[in-house]
Amino acid sequence: MSKTAARESAREAAPTPEQPARLPVQHRTVAPNEAGWRLDRWIRTHFPGLSFAETQKLLRTGQFRVDGKRAEGSLRLAAGQTIRVPPLPESATEPPSASSDKRPLTAAERAFARSLLIYADARILAFNKPAGLAVQGGTKTTRHLDRLLEAFAKGGERPRLVHRLDRDTSGVVVVARTAEVARELGFAFQQHRIRKLYWAILVKGPERNEGEIELALEKRGPKGREKVEPVEEEEEEGRWAKTAFKVLARAGKIAAWVALMPYTGRTHQLRAHCATIGAPILGDGKYGGKEAHLKGAPKGLMLHARELELPGPKGKPLRITAEPPPAFRAALSWLGLEQPELPGATLDDWPPR
């Protein structure tokens, strides 16, 4: 390793008062017995302390690289390839503990967790996450869905997250009861075999009643204030993203109730795509600026994960539906939009991919 690279590695790994100690940047070689493994399996084997969501974020942002190039988790490895491992917490090399927050849940927290549950079977749990509740913890975030999963632990095994929603987005979140199911669903998400439908209220609304938005996205900006922005597809860091939309009802030229189907799962994809076509999500000041706030409208980000369809254990699709929160219904009522006027409000109105 060069002196410059060594300094960079040490600098990236150095702990701060707010952060735990981190491992330095590493460059590891794929062993002969690991040939043919998927990259995500390699990461899971070497760094069992990383959660699925953490791994996916690191892959999405290009922090794990194979032979110097960005790679999807589904990439099949060859012996002798070099994997760039980003600075990770020292805990990444240890199997995950039951919970990163050791405080036991209070009776009120357990009751709150149970109130969010909308589906349960032997394999999964599904929740209707309210806007404002983070899916995972972080610096200064101690109240989150991942911590609440302790209320559903059985036989020492705690349910595991397999995907996530933004803090300010409401709707369906599915978790796996076991590690085996988490792996199955993780692969299904990566292979785009899970269909998701969102409801949103867009300022002005799209020009057409249905269509697709296909724009590569890249995260930019200073730490803590990052945004994803559209980039030219030929730019190295831009990641292809595609969203389909159907207008369900219009409130003149003021706003529209729209169904959104993401074909890819980029960070803030729906918010960035809608803002790019001049129809930001109501309440989304981060991407829509002042234009996203209509005077007198109910407060909050009007984006709701309405339906999720995933493969069932016997091949029959399982569909889970979450009712929108009061603020979303209040915004529809404020606009005079009580019922959908056009098809697209359910997955039945969308052809299978």
Q: What is the tens place of the pLDDT at every residue in 261-272?
A: 999 888 899 999
195-349 is classed in which CATH architecture?
Answer: 2-Layer Sandwich (3.30)
pLDDT at position 7 is: 40
CB contact set of 99 (below 8 Å; sequence gap of 6+): 147, 150, 158
Kindly tell me if the per-residue pLDDT of 139 is higher than 70: no
What is the rounded average pLDDT of the residues 319-334? 98
Where do you find CATH 3.10.290.10 in the chain? 26-85
pLDDT at position 20 is: 47
What is the rounded average pLDDT of the residues 93-105? 62
Output 81 or 237, whichever has higher pLDDT: 81
Output 333 or 93, whichever has higher pLDDT: 333
Residue 348 appears among annotated catalytic residues: no
Q: Which of 146, 166, 168, 284 is catalytic?
A: 166
Closest-CA residue to 118 (of 315, 345, 318): 318
Q: What's the whole-number average pLDDT of the chain?
A: 87
Fold classified for 107-190? Pseudouridine synthase (3.30.2350)
Q: How confident is the model at residue 62 (pLDDT cuts 50, 70, 90)?
A: very high
pTM for the model stands at: 0.74
Pick the CATH number of 26-85 from 3.40.190.80, 3.20.10.10, 3.90.550.10, 3.10.290.10: 3.10.290.10
- Rounded distance between C-alpha atoms, residue 251 and residue 335, angstroms: 6
Where do you find CATH 3.30.2350.10 in the chain? 107-190, 195-349
